Structure 1
Amino acid sequence: MGRPELIECAEYGVAELVTNALLHGEQPIWVRVRGTRDHPRVEVHDASRQPPILPGSEPLSDVGEDDLLLTFGRGLDIVARCSTAWGAQIEEDGKIVWFVPSTESHDDTPVPGVISGADGDRADRLEPSDLIEVEIRDASLGALNVCQNHTRELYREVRLLSLAHESRYPLAKSLASLFGSLDRLVRDGIDSHEVEAALARGQRTATLRVTVPRSTVASIDRFLELLDLADAFCREERLLSLARSREQRRFQEWFFGEFVRQQQGESPIPWAEAAEGRQSVS
């Protein structure tokens, strides 16, 4: 990445977080880099939803050798002293502990960590008149899984950017709210048991009925524009993640477009029919 000044602190932080995941987390465990070139973020994921133990305020020099051995791989003092921002994101499938490497360690002023997550972010109870049921006809289950993961990734990305560098990325906080509402649309609106049952029967496609707030549907056009913008940032390497493939983009435009179309009173269009139409146009 051309950021050699970050290597030492990045190595210390990764060693601590991976040790922590191996000793106290659950498989699977993975490590990756996200964020931007100016503010690269290292993420370590494990399948445990147990929040990490935040470090104490005492300097490492005040900790005895035996105590240091007991806290190795558990306390996050090293991460707090080798980063400009760090924290943990608690998710449905585990947690991600992340940090932004610093150019040098700061033993006297450890950075406080921030623990965040989806718990408590559920929408308020809505009246039936505020909801709309949409029929997603003959959706590709494989493409749907990719769509769900991509939406969740974008939500996580802008949320963590806003937590770590809100002053440098002033739009991140408002984008996190929009992306979060669409993430909940995909995550909460679809019956996961219905999808799992279809997969267990060997189905490659399924027709799903999704109930979502009308207010969320009104944001979809703006959301699709932001997906294109995010792709452009990824291609320009302004975001350290991959742009969507053409097939992923087509599926997402059809999937989210069905919410807009059916709210306007139009009939559902199956995925295969929509895909053939788009291919003929291109």
Structure 2
Amino acid sequence: MSGAATVVDLALPAEPRTAARARRAVREALQGAGAAHLGDVAELVVSELVTNAVVHAGTPIGVRVVAEPTALRVEVQDGSDRMPVRRAWAETSGTGRGLRIVDEHADRWGVERTDAGKVVWFEVGRPTTPVVRRVPAPDGSSGDRRIDITLRSVPLLMHWAWQEHAATLLREYLLYALDRDVRALDDHAAASSALSLLDEQVPRPRLPSEPDALMASSVEPAVTAAAVSLSISAAAVRHFEVLDDLLVRARAAAEDGRLLSPPTQPEMAEMRAWLCGEVAGQAEGAAEPKPWRARTDVRVARRPDQARPRAVRALLDTDQPLIAMDDASVIVAVSAEVVEHLGYRREEDLLGRRILVVVPARFHQAHIAGTTLHATHGRDVLLDRWLDVPMVRADGTEVPVGLHVQARRLDGDVQVFVAHVRF
């Protein structure tokens, strides 16, 4: 077995099959160097890095593999100057794990800016082959003009939840559109770039994990930022236009049943339009930033005439007072005791309305974020436990109650949240 390194250089297009070609190149290089035992880890990590380059950069990709008998170095180069960011998303999230996998399996990894974009590299073992140093870009910038954007009254909890929901929706829509739209990868890369810009610059709320403390810290105005400043390149403005358009199309596809993603709550769609609109408007010279304000009227019934499945009606066959909503946060069942306690005359006064109609306004953002996170990846910090909360009565006053919320799936495909109420 020779001690010489096996070096492979590849120029690859940004297309779905590229990750498989990179894995094969790594496997063959390791076999040539007599280091096939490093293959499993190396193929996993290179697959993540190349997939990230395909999805988030959308440019031609360069892969260099340097394999030695006991070590390996792989470099993945793309034409985007966006630095990879390890996002602090939930363990159950369906996306955002790429850099975590790299961190857990590579012995060392890093990223370097170049005059053509960036290089993300990783090592397994301790390679001895000298590294070819590239010319770095000056100060990480291509010289593109910067634009300052000011966002006012930013809903931090909703933005955090929207980031995870939007990334999941974009990924699923990409898989749906790949065979239908020749620009699918390019558009996904542009939209992902805009999403990353927001994730990097909009503060993430710091929330405790203990349920009572979480409830206490998720109340307005603590979860809204008075102002957030963004700095983006002039070239990135178009990415926000693509993000807006792509999420509109993805939401429509999900509502038509063509995707598996959960429904997007109307306030989330409004916030997306507001975020992208503020970037576009201020980039064009709009005089004053427009503060965020939800416009959906929670008092209006969204499905007043919808027939309820028998399984939903059967929820009321219990002695326990309850109120139940579907996965779009629409009330689908409510017991007579709850109707009376909240000061309504009949069940129909609540059926078909958003559950937010009985949630105090200061908790609206927390509720929208929480239900979005649960629908996206199953986050359930406040489920299956008794909580003392206020509910809004028909006359606008509040009454304290105890709630015990459970997620249930009825008849195999009807998702509901059932809240037993203790007066």
Higher relative contact order (CA 8 A, sep 6+): 1
Scaled by the length of structure 2, the TM-score of the pair is: 0.34
Which structure has the bigger radius of gyration?
2
